[in-house]
Structure 1
Amino acid sequence: MKDAATPETVSREKWEQARSELLVREKELTHARDALAAARRRLPMTPMEPVTVEGPHGPVPLQDVFEGRRMLIVYHFMWNAHAPHHQQCEGCTHSQAAMTAAVCAYLVERDVTYAVFSSGPLDQILAYREFMGWTTPWYSTADSGEVLATRDGGDLRCYLRTDDQVFQTYETKWRGIEAMMPTLQLLDLTPYGRQETWEDSPVTVQLDQPGAWWRRDGRPVAQWTRTREPVD
């Protein structure tokens, strides 16, 4: 990285002019994003069939996952059943890494509960949560049937609860999951960006395939904050 090319060097005056011109586009994007969020809030909702998930104290209905709040955000963490920790999904680990107790506390202030669902056995799921030092509620959908099934994991879904009914209001996946990944938003502010092959970057720098850098030396990167043990 130290030998990578750098952006053009200009005077402070020219830099401020270029920054001001970009700010106009940034504000346009902010307004467009606000309008899109408003349209998202106006989506219709669809009722959920009755379904249970397995938590630490046994099966519970989906309503109970709300923990008494009106809204629920669920991330579907892709699960590799019976695989060791280092073989779990690096993308889902990256997504979940930012969902700390402090972040979830702010969601609670807006009457929102955040939880994670996985299709794997609950004991394996909770062991991984403990290994990573996470505290967010995590449930198994192994016996939940098709109601909560995902095609390949990695879905982010939103629900609304009335007194006796749960409705789904939204879902997204792939790049829509970037809402959970502040690392990507911060990298987008830097001159080298995410350093991935799909990006339009005027600065020459070594590029990786999308997401390839989320795993290092055989582990999802976040795991190296929890252990120094080499991968067999």
Structure 2
Amino acid sequence: MTTHLIGSRDEWLAARIELLGKEKELTRLGDDLARQRQLLPWVRIDKEFHFDTEEGPAALADLFRGRSQLLVYHFMFGPDYKAGCPSCSAIADGLNGIAVHLANHDVTLMAVSRAPLAKLQAYKQRMGWTFPWASSTDGAFNFDFNVSFTEQQQRDGTVEYNFQREPVFEWRSGQEGDGTSARANFAAMTGTDVPTYSRERPGMSAFIIEDGVVYHTYSTYSRGVDGIWSMYPWLDRAPKGRNEPSGPWWRRHDEYGRG
């Protein structure tokens, strides 16, 4: 027997219309936030960044692929990972379908990770993805855009992520991917321990190129990427919502049903 509120069709309609007003308010707020993002000052990038791509070595300007706008998803796949982060993989499932539409709207969508290109390509083939993916293995790109950190930063407590200083990382037993926490589970799923897994972080950054000059326009991190995680808008409209009281439940799309 359900414990949820039960009502008539008329009662549902009245409540739904009231909710519609709040949804419209949220939509208008979202439109205003989008305009404010576009009004942020641009930061000229004079530093040279180097990437490995399927087409060969590339500079940041080359990642635009002839378009004027570039959206980078900072995919958690560190050099020591044996597989990509499960959460980033779930997000990337959505990126795969929209890249072609963005490309035809003067926007290149590109994933960037620190793992070597060969490792990224093998994982990309496994997942069946087609969006472009560049490796920034030996460069400063991930560090400069605050999605990769060193072990020394972890130990010193100097990690700056999501525009704020993080507490000193707790170096303790139980952080070897033994399944005692969601982070340990995800670390194990990438073939690493928790400290190694935690040195990579998710995020997205936006760039524009004008007259051959590249500018950084926007970045978001942590739950800021919820908006590009395509399963969440659907779950937020499902009867039970995200329904994850015990923590993350998702896996890579080829791992469901394995037990």
Range of TM-score over shorter length = 0.7 to 0.9
What stretches of structure 1 of length at least 5 have no aligned partner? 197-206
Q: 1:167 and 2:239 equivalent?
A: no
Q: Distance in 2 between matches of 1:124 and 1:67?
A: 22
Q: Which amino acid aligns with 2:210?
A: T
CA deviation profile, 1:115-156 (whole Å, cap 9, x unmatched): 010011111111100111101111110122244562332110
Q: What's the TM-score once normalised by structure 2's chain length?
A: 0.74
Q: Distance in 1 between matches of 2:145 and 2:114?
A: 9
Q: Please say which of residues 59-68 and 146-155 is displaced more in the overlay.
A: 146-155
Tell me what 1:15 maps to: 12
Q: Please say which of residues 111-120 and 55-64 is displaced more in the overlay.
A: 55-64
107 and 24 in structure 1: CA distance in 2 versus 1, 3 angstrom threshold: same
What stretches of structure 2 of length at least 5 have no aligned partner? 149-199
Q: Which has the higher contact order (CA 8 A, sep 6+)?
A: 1
Q: Distance in 2 between matches of 1:55 and 1:148?
A: 19
Tell me what 2:158 maps to: none
Deviation, 1:78, is 0.8
RMSD: 2.0
Q: What's the TM-score once normalised by structure 1's chain length?
A: 0.82
Q: Distance in 1 between matches of 2:9 and 2:209?
A: 53
CA contact (8 A) 1:141 1:148 kept: no
Deviation, 1:47, is 1.3
Q: 1:74 and 2:61 equivalent?
A: no
Q: Distance in 2 between matches of 1:147 and 1:18?
A: 48
Deviation, 1:6, is 5.0
* Count of aligned positions: 205
Deviation, 1:82, is 4.5
Q: Distance in 2 between matches of 1:57 and 1:103?
A: 21
Deviation, 1:223, is 2.4
Tell me what 2:59 maps to: 61
Matches within 5 A, 1:97-136: 97-100=93-96, 102-136=97-131
Q: Distance in 2 between matches of 1:183 and 1:6?
A: 27
CA contact (8 A) 1:96 1:180 kept: no
